[in-house]
Amino acid sequence: MKIAVLEIVEDWLTQAGTHRQHYGRPLVSLCYAQSLDGSLTLRRGQPTALSGAESARLTHQLRAIHAAILVGVGTVLADDPRLTVRHVSGPDPQPVILDSRLRTPIEAKLIRQHPRPAWIAATEGAEPQKRSALEAAGARVLSLPAGREGRVSLCDLLDRLGEMGIDSLMVEGGAQVISSMLSQGLADQVILTVAPVFLGGLPAVEAGAIGWLRLGEVLYERLGDDLVACGKLNRTDLLSSNRP
Ligand SMILES: NC(=O)c1ccc[n+]([C@@H]2O[C@H](COP(=O)([O-])OP(=O)(O)OC[C@H]3O[C@@H](n4cnc5c(N)ncnc54)[C@H](OP(=O)(O)O)[C@@H]3O)[C@@H](O)[C@H]2O)c1
């Protein structure tokens, strides 16, 4: 039986091409797992497996229907993820790492083991030596203007990805990236897995990052012991939310 959340996200993604033509940017899906108390992991820098088998499989199905997948360098350093599609058959999305200062280790699985060359979004001021080392290891470094706090400007990155033909982007975390995407009104939809555990750990959304944001077209589905919620974010709500 097909998962309802997957069907609805597939349906949303049929608009991805039109969306890119209209806005020059990919449709952005925020997809992550959290505990009942809203934690992403026990402690920053420490991987914590939260999803059950069914929702982990859904994550791989979602990867397979997005053109690209993005994580922050904090997640690369903590989890060393591959971001490939393994639990189902389907194409691997283009991996993108948000990494202003090029902290990605050249031995990271995304650099050494991924079938596609990783795109690393760095700021224009990143050290040329680090850039050369990562490019020699097979990555492609995208130089982008710095935005808030000297980090990669997400708006510029989305524009660049749009120019590069990416019409859908799955953002898998971690906390700082989720918070930035939400606070800047850049996520179009959310697919959230809630695992039946309490962690009291790293909050998925940083305190004060956003005000009131409500999902529309919400669907809840139980997968194994997990609850998966998906819904759309209204750009107007996002841009007028009570953020700092
Ligand atoms: N439960 C889940 O689904 C899930 C998913 C992913 C990760 N995680 C967990 O989350 C933790 C990592 O989260 P994290 O918050 O430490 O790191 P993160 O969000 O993965 O990466 C944050 C880093 O990205 C870089 N960055 C560049 N431009 C940015 C921008 N515009 N906005 C935000 N970040 C930007 C920054 O480093 P520079 O300033 O050096 O560029 C920043 O420190 C790990 O422990 C991991 O296990 C959980």
pLDDT along the chain (244 residues), means of 10: 94 98 98 98 95 97 98 98 97 98 98 96 97 98 94 98 98 97 96 98 94 94 98 71 45
Angle at 120 between CA 118 and CA 126, to 5 degrees: 145
Distance (Å) from CA 119 to ligand 1 centroid = 16
pLDDT score for 244: 37
User: Of 39, 151, 157, 199, which is best to mutate to test ligand 1, by the most ligand atoms within 8 angstroms of its C-beta?
Assistant: 151
Enter the pTM of the model.
Answer: 0.96
216 phi and psi angles, rounded to 5 deg: -110, 165
Contact 217, 231 (CB under 8 A): yes
Query: What CATH class does 4-240 carry?
Result: alpha beta
Distance (Å) from CA 99 to ligand 1 centroid = 9
User: Of 39, 40, 171, 180, which is best to mutate to test ligand 1, by the most ligand atoms within 8 angstroms of its C-beta?
Assistant: 40
For residue 174, say if its preceding peptide bond is cis, omega within 30 degrees of 0: yes
What distance lies between CA 140 and its chain's CA centroid?
A: 19
* 151-181 burial: b if 16+ Cβ within 10 Å, else e: bbbbebbbbbbbeeebbbbbbbbbbbbbbbb
Length of the chain: 244
Ligand 1 contacts CB of residue 170 (under 6 A): no
HEC secondary structure over 43-78: CCCCCCCCCCHHHHHHHHHHHHHCCEEEEEHHHHHH
Ligand 1 contacts CB of residue 103 (under 6 A): yes
User: Of 46, 75, 76, 206, which is best to mutate to test ligand 1, by the most ligand atoms within 8 angstroms of its C-beta?
Assistant: 75
Q: Which of 92, 101, 97 is nearest to 79 (CA)?
A: 97
10 phi and psi angles, rounded to 5 deg: -60, -40
Distance (Å) from CA 207 to ligand 1 centroid = 15
Atom 8 in ligand 1: residue holding the nearest Cα = 174
